[in-house]
Amino acid sequence: VKAILDNNTIKAEEILGDRYRDMERTILQNTERIKQNKQNSYEFQMKQLNKIGIENIRESRIRKLEKEKYTWEKTHELQKEIIPELKCLLLMNIMNE
């Protein structure tokens, strides 16, 4: 049974490999687009915050923005990881009598 399962797993990985690479490419493109949008937003917000005349308010808001950026970057790195998993849900052997 283990040999059959291993053989079928190898065949499934070969067949699904192209599909996985397509999905991976799409996910990476989307995460890169989101990252670029976040970076543009960050730069715009930073530019706006630097216009604030009261120093302690400006610095406080910049620190808050930097903290949000750090949190987002950590989350983004986790979202970029793609971990495929193939597991057998059903294995049948049909015998002809």
pLDDT along the chain (97 residues), means of 10: 78 83 88 93 96 94 96 84 70 70
Of 72, 91, 68, give the one whose Cα is nearest residue 1.
91
User: Under a CB-based contact definition with an 8 Å cutoff, are residues 52 and 61 in contact?
Assistant: yes
The length of the chain in residues reads 97
pLDDT at 97: 64
